[in-house]
Amino acid sequence: MLTALMLLAVPAIVPLPRSLTVLPGTYALPQHVAVRAASAAERNVAAFTERFLRKRGIAVRIVREGAPAQIRLNGAAKDGALGAEGYHLRVDSSGIEIDANGGPGLFYGLQTLEQLVPASGAPAIRDIDIRDVPAFAWRGIHLDVSRHFFPVSVVERYINVAAHYKLNVFHWHLTDDQGWRIQIQRYPRLTSVGACRSGSEVDHDPALSDGIRYCGYYTQDQIRQVVAYAARRYVTVVPEIEMPGHSAAAIAAYPYLGCTGKQIPVSVSWGGSDAICPTPRAIRFEENVLSEIMQLFPSKYIHTGGDEVLFGQWKRSAFVTALMKRKHLQTYPQVQGYFERRIERFIRSKGRIMVGWDEILNGGVSRSAVVMSWRGTAGGARAARRGNDTVMSPDGPLYLSWGQGDPADEPPASCCVDTPQMVYAFNPIPPGLTPQQAKHIIGVQGNMWTEWVPTASHLFYMLLPRELALAEDAWTPEYEKNWSSFEARTGPQYLWLEAHGYNFRIPNPSFTIDAPQLSFAGVSPSVRTIQAYTRGPDVTVTLTDDVPGAAIHYTLDGSTPSARSLVYGAPLRYALKPNETVDVTAVAVLPDGRVSTPSELLLARR
């Protein structure tokens, strides 16, 4: 366990390792490095090692077992304490050694090593000993490509940054009311019809649409490409095929799936639509689709949605009324449960496990299904008490489609404010669970819904840096987490993100107020303004920003600063008169010209 004193000296590693000992001395990587790798997993990780070091100007050759090497990969450690994904990384005068029980641990050890190598200058690494294992088996990141479609290149970059921070599940939301995004050979109209809509909402007013035809889907070859790309990084791709709700795109392609049998359009506006009718023909359709899905995705988990099912057409359907009478179903959630149990039995017959949003509990799925808790944490707690394995992905702290600050300063977002600190504060284990029940919380996941995220630049802005906080939620035990330590360790991560071309939200400059008679300091609801009052005249204001190399510019009249505004170089000192107010507004400006959203300090003597 890392003590508070140790946390102050922790190298800039995200997520925080379980056990870390800084040793005396440093190891300087030579210009020519041999990497020892014998097994297939070792050679896979060695290829990533070579790629990483080549960018630092270091020549790499991969050698077989027994050959002398500066970097030694051992994927057959047979160390029970490391489990399937843990690693032991040691750097000393003899070089660098990563031990693990397989490829995942080796890969995660390499990600830690990469963070230890300075971003610039001589590639000297402090001597260190790290033993590390994850807190949760499911460390997920979700991407909705139905509302807005992203090409394979963007999806792979999305996976790459997740893998670097030791997330291991990519939840790919492939179908919804607004578009069917995966080729199914048995049902070609799913993509010829279901992959296109006649427009998209362009404002928060649902009546508005830009009227431009919007299309996109992945071929099965592209799906295989992404799955293989993720597998090399030890990321499991979990596909989601929404049913029975959120299925307008499927019904538009094959109207018999709806209870009316009538043609409907692929949805243009965001929100839900009527559900697939639970007829034998519709269930066979879902089983046939899932058969092709399971040929493309080796994941043992198959996500089938199950959220926000609208029952309007079911209530007017003679078939559903007869089904309820025949099966002794009293409510429409029980009808949904009937549908989902049929689908679950089919998935189990193929040796896979069904995953669904927490509404699936209402109809009574079996205890073998995995529940994903999105409507807060109550559904996850209920599932864990029931004995279902559960992934915590609640709206609010783990909805990365929410805004990150004052809406006036931010790009469009689906809702509300969710800062990195709010993400970091999330504890995946709900209170009140017994230790046995808590074991059913198998993981944590951040969700990225893309109704208001139309471009790759916007996507990564919403993702980063909050994904780093998510990674620590997923990897680091709650009792080891420390926000001050995390904040200090994120600075160098921005350099990695910049070097790899990722757009990210630049942190707002932060204020530290030193006033002997400070009477109040608090953040306004806008999340950008600090209001502070002092009873005495002497005040010192210090400005800081987390991104190395960023310049802070500020104004003193409340106006928004630019790169031409005053440059912060030293703490600001004031001798306030009674009732005098100082209005300091600051932004961080990166060397490439990107500017953060502003932070404002309203300081008054009262």
**Amino acid in the structure at residue 250:** A
DSSP secondary structure string, 392-451? Answer: E--TTTTBTTSBSS-TTTS---SSSB--HHHHHT--SS-TT--HHHHTTEEEEEEB---T
CA distance 464 to 257: 39
Which position among 99, 144, 176, 480 bears the catalytic label? 176
Q: Is-catalytic flag, 308?
A: yes
3-state secondary structure of 108: helix
Q: What would the 3-class secondary structure string for 440-452 be?
A: CEEEEEEECCCCC
Which position among 88, 173, 246, 553 bears the catalytic label? 246
3-state secondary structure of 527: coil
The tokens 């070609």 sit on which residue?
188
- Whether 141 and 446 have beta carbons less than 8 Å apart is answered as yes
Which position among 308, 487, 538, 583 bears the catalytic label? 308
- Whether 414 and 402 have beta carbons less than 8 Å apart is answered as yes
CA distance 157 to 163: 10
φ, ψ for residue 535, nearest 5 deg: -95, -10
Q: Is-catalytic flag, 583?
A: no
- What are the residue ranges of helices labelled H in 78-192? 103-116, 152-164, 189-192
Reading the block at residue 527, the tokens are 């999340």
CA distance 450 to 399: 11
CA distance 340 to 533: 58
- Whether 310 and 274 have beta carbons less than 8 Å apart is answered as yes
Reading the block at residue 29, the tokens are 């990587």
CA distance 586 to 559: 9
- Whether 132 and 115 have beta carbons less than 8 Å apart is answered as no
CA distance 330 to 363: 11
Contacts of residue 577, defined as CB under 8 A and 6 or more positions apart, other chains included, come to 537, 605
CA distance 337 to 360: 7
CA distance 463 to 413: 12
DSSP 8-state secondary structure symbol assigned to residue 34:
E
Any idea which residues carry the catalytic annotation?
Answer: 176, 246, 308
